[in-house]
Amino acid sequence: MSYCDSCVVRNRAICAALDDDEIQALNGIGRRKMLQAGDPLIWEGDDSMLVANVIDGILKLTNSTEDGREQIVGVVYPADFIGRPFGAKSNHSVTALTDAKVCLFARSDFDRFAAEHPSLEHKLLKRTLDELDRTRSWMLLLARKSAEEKVATFLLDMSKRLVDATCEAPQDGPLDEFELPFSRQQIGDILGVTIETVSRQMTRMKRDGILDLPTRRTVKIVDRAALEMIAG
């Protein structure tokens, strides 16, 4: 009997590469951990001792300058992988944005296990390549897009990414209404703008009939075509 048998991400996380015996072995070196919103998991610059799979919740990866400017460089969702195997240093901090549950491994244990299970490394490689592509696309947004384009692109991205996180029933298209898992400050930290700019852009889109904002965290996309036009 192992935790993994009932794991909700058993078939989506990199664990999907493993058969039952292998899962059993992996289970032996991992442990579950609950995090509350705001809890840090890894600190930038620390020795990288941990890796993890996200079971539930959303976490952010951040880089900071010495004088305190922060940039969110990645957001991880259930089934995503966290941490830096085969490396000595963590280059970014990991912090829970919502209450979260992760499956935690000592890096050295994981490294050893991975080296013996090529199919696991293969899945991790595919995942890492995908993440690299996504990250590179985001660079174009950070460096070249206007505040308006950034916010529009962000909202469209959310409406796609939150599909399976939001509802039990599988849904194919993007969501037209969803709860933001981020505060305005965090949206600013993702887009590289200030909270005031995020706020102004969103209220302007509401005024223009593109969005509806029933509550602070709820977004309803009224005119998706217009939003896509703005996103560029």
> Of 80-109, which residues contact a second copy (CB under 8 A)?
84-87, 91-92
Sole residue written with tokens 């192992």: 2
Give the interface segment with DNA, choosing from 26-34, 50-58, 169-177, 208-216 (CB under 7 A): 208-216
Q: Which residues are registered as beta bridge partners of 53?
A: 81, 103
Give the interface segment with a second copy, choosing from 59-67, 98-106, 165-173, 214-222 (CB under 8 A): 59-67
Binding-residue pattern over the window 148 to 167 for DNA, x denoting contact by CB under 7 A? x-------------------
In eight-state DSSP terms, residue 85 is T
Site for DNA (CB under 7 A): which residue of 197, 205, 221, 230? 197
Q: Give the distance from CA 90 to its chain's centroid.
A: 17
Tokens for 215? 């509550």
> Of 184-203, which residues contact a second copy (CB under 8 A)?
191-192
Q: How far is the CB of 118 from a second copy (least distance, A)?
A: 4
In terms of phi and psi (left: phi > 0; alpha: psi -120 to 50; beta: otherwise), the region of 139 is alpha
Site for DNA (CB under 7 A): which residue of 59, 162, 202, 227? 202
Site for a second copy (CB under 8 A): which residue of 30, 57, 74, 181? 74
| Angle formed at CA 44 by CA 43 and CA 49, multiple of 5 degrees | 60
138 binds a second copy (CB under 8 A): yes
For 2-47, list the strands marked E by DSSP. 30-35, 40-42
Residue 146 phi, psi (nearest 5): -75, 165
Q: How far is the CB of 154 from DNA (least distance, A)?
A: 13
Q: With contacts defined by CB under 7 A, how many residues of the chain interact with DNA?
A: 21
Give the interface segment with DNA, choosing from 45-53, 92-100, 158-166, 192-200 (CB under 7 A): 192-200
Separation of alpha carbons 33 and 35, rounded Å: 7
| Beta sheet of 30-35, edge-to-edge order | 30-35, 100-106, 50-56, 81-83
Q: Which residues are registered as beta bridge partners of 35?
A: 100
Name the residues that contact a second copy, by CB under 8 A.
61, 63-67, 69-71, 73-74, 84-87, 91-92, 115, 118, 121-122, 124-126, 128-133, 135-140, 142-145, 191-192, 232
